[in-house]
Structure 1
């Protein structure tokens, strides 16, 4: 569950607005303090790796730009199961 402090974090809000194909959140340490920055893929057209984990918001942003470029270089096949 995300706390109010997480949703009000400007860096978190900016990443969520820029990378809508991922669910972006902060991991928590055992003491409850914020830890790594995490992006979970929701839209296969937005990335390749299912989960991206970085130490800070800028590193995550760079990684997600790279994911976007990787996804643009491949075709996404939608299957009807």
Structure 2
């Protein structure tokens, strides 16, 4: 049963990461925007959860890098938003 849950969570993560990429290619999101980075971060976290059940070292490592890149993007977004004088919510 846990394998099925891990697969469902992993597929949701895949949809989020690939969906973010498609939205970027269609110019619907900005690579420095909140939505793009949140989709990537949550997708990578979901995939990482799935990989903890069905481990694959190469995939695990790339998800760690994906999480770090997304956190850097979110930091940049928040820093830019604050420097513009806009309150973050």
Q: Which has more radius of gyration?
A: 2
| Higher RCO, Cα 8 Å, sep 6+ | 2
The structure whose residues are more often strand, as a share, is: 1
TM-score by length of structure 2 reads 0.33
TM-score by length of structure 1 reads 0.36
The structure whose residues are more often helix, as a share, is: 2
